[in-house]
C-alpha cells in the first residue's frame, strides 16, 4: 500500500486560508471593540446624561463654593481621554468623597448622588464638644485654639473662649498643624468624659486638662488648684478618691477658707494635697 502525501501547494493554500480567516476574525473583533468603545464614549458625553451643576447642603462651617469648586474639578475631563467624568452614571464619586474629606476635616459624613443634571452633595458636619488650645493654661496672649468633636478629632479653628464655654484640652500633639489630628484616642476621650461627668455629679468642677509628655495629666479646678493623676490610671477610682477627699476634708468645698494648690493622686491609695 502506498501512503498519500499532501501536496506542498495544497498545504500552502490551506495555511494562507487559515491566516486570512484569523485576520478577518481579529479585524472584526477590533471593529466591534471600536464600535463598543465609541458607543460608550458617545453615551458618556451625551447631553441627556451630563452633570451641569453641583449643589451643596447641610453645611454651616464648610464653604459651599469651595466644596462645589472641588467637585467640579473632579468631574472635569475624561477617563482615558474618552469617557466624560461628568456623566451622571460614571462620575468619580469615591474621588469626590475622598478629596472632600481630606480638604474639609469638619465634614463628618458625605452623601453624593446625581439627580438629572445636578450633582447633589449632602454633608453632616462635626459638632464641637471641646476646645484644644496650644500653650498652657494662663497663656492667653499667644495661644491658638481649635474645635474638637467628642471622639477627640480636631477639625477647625476656634475663637479663644472665656467663661468656660467649652472644656479645654492642652498639649498632647504638635501645635503647628492641629487640624485633622486626633488629640487622644476615642476610647480615652470617652473615658475622660465619664470621669468629668462623675466629678460634676460630686459638685467638683474641672475646666481644663493638660496632657503632659511624661504621662501625667493635670485637671484644673474651677477657681483654683489642680488635680494630678497618671494617664494610665483607671479614672473611676480617681473619681472615688476625690469623693472621699471631699467628704472627709473641706479643701474641695466651695466654703473652704484656704487656697488649694494641688491634689496629687499618682501614688496609689495615698492622696497628697497642698
181-229 tens-digit pLDDT: 898 899 999 999 999 999 999 988 999 999 998 989 999 998 788 999 9
The answer to whether residues 129 and 169 touch, using CB atoms and an 8 Å cutoff, is: no
In the chain, residues under CATH classification 3.40.50.11690 are 130-273
Residue-averaged pLDDT of the chain: 84
Question: H/E element holding 216?
Answer: strand 216-221
Q: Cβ distance 135 to 71 under 8 Å?
A: no
Cβ neighbors of 39 (< 8 A, separation 6 or more) are none
Architecture of the structural domain at 130-273: 3-Layer(aba) Sandwich (3.40)
pLDDT of residue 246: 82
pTM summary value: 0.77
CA–CA gap between residue 111 and residue 22 (Å, rounded): 50
Sheet holding 53-57, edge to edge: 53-57, 118-125, 107-115
DSSP, collapsed to helix, strand or coil, labels residue 70 as: helix
Q: How far apart are CA 123 and CA 105, in angstroms?
A: 12
Q: Which residues, 6+ apart, have CB-to-CB distance to 37 below 8 Å?
A: 82
Grade residue 260 by pLDDT with cuts at 50, 70 and 90.
confident
Distance from C-alpha of 232 to C-alpha of 255, rounded to nearest angstrom: 32
The CA angle 215-232-223, to the nearest 5 degrees, is: 70
The per-residue b/e assignment along 213-229, b for 16 or more CB within 10 angstroms, e otherwise, is eeeebbbbbeeebbbbb
Radius of gyration of the chain from its Cα atoms, rounded to whole angstroms: 34
CATH 3.10.20 fits 47-125, yes or no: yes
**Are 151 and 159 within 8 A, CB to CB?**
no
Q: How far apart are CA 207 and CA 197, in angstroms?
A: 12
Inform me whether the pLDDT recorded for 44 exceeds 80: no
Give pLDDT tens digits for 124-163: 999 999 999 888 877 766 778 899 999 999 999 888 766 6
Q: How many helices (H) and strands (E) does the chain have?
A: 5, 14
pLDDT tens string 63-83 = 999 999 999 999 999 888 888
DSSP 8-state code for residue 199: H
- Write down the pLDDT at residue 42: 66
CATH 3.10.20 domain extents, the chain = 47-125
Count of alpha carbons within 13 Å of 84, Cβ hemisphere only?
19
Amino acid at each position: 500500500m502506498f501512503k498519500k502525501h499532501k501536496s506542498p501547494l495544497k498545504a500552502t493554500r490551506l495555511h494562507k486560508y487559515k491566516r486570512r480567516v484569523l485576520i478577518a476574525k481579529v479585524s472584526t473583533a477590533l471593529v466591534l471593540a471600536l464600535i463598543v468603545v465609541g458607543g460608550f464614549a458617545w453615551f458618556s458625553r451625551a447631553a441627556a446624561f451630563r452633570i451641569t451643576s453641583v449643589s451643596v447642603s447641610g453645611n454651616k462651617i464648610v464653604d459651599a463654593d469651595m466644596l462645589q469648586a472641588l467637585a467640579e474639578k473632579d468631574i472635569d475631563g475624561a477617563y482615558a481621554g474618552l469617557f466624560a467624568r461628568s456623566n451622571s452614571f460614571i462620575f468619580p464619586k469615591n474621588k469626590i468623597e475622598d478629596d472632600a474629606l481630606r480638604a474639609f476635616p469638619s465634614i463628618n459624613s458625605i452623601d453624593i448622588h446625581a439627580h438629572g443634571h445636578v450633582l447633589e452633595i449632602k454633608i453632616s458636619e462635626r459638632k464641637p464638644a471641646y476646645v484644644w488650645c496650644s500653650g498652657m493654661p494662663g497663656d492667653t496672649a499667644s495661644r491658638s485654639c481649635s474645635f474638637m468633636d467628642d471622639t477627640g478629632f480636631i477639625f477647625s479653628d476656634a475663637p479663644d473662649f472665656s467663661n468656660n464655654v467649652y472644656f479645654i484640652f492642652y498639649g498632647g500633639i504638635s501645635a503647628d498643624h492641629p487640624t485633622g489630628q486626633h488629640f487622644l484616642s476615642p476610647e480615652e476621650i470617652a473615658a475622660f468624659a465619664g470621669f468629668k461627668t462623675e466629678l460634676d455629679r460630686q459638685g467638683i468642677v474641672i475646666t481644663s486638662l493638660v496632657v503632659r509628655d511624661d504621662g501625667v495629666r493635670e485637671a484644673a479646678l474651677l477657681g483654683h488648684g489642680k488635680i494630678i493623676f497618671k494617664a494610665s490610671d483607671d479614672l473611676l477610682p480617681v473619681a472615688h478618691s476625690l469623693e472621699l477627699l471631699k467628704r472627709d476634708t473641706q479643701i474641695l468645698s466651695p466654703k473652704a477658707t484656704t487656697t488649694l494648690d494641688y491634689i496629687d493622686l499618682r501614688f496609689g491609695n495615698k492622696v497628697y494635697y497642698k
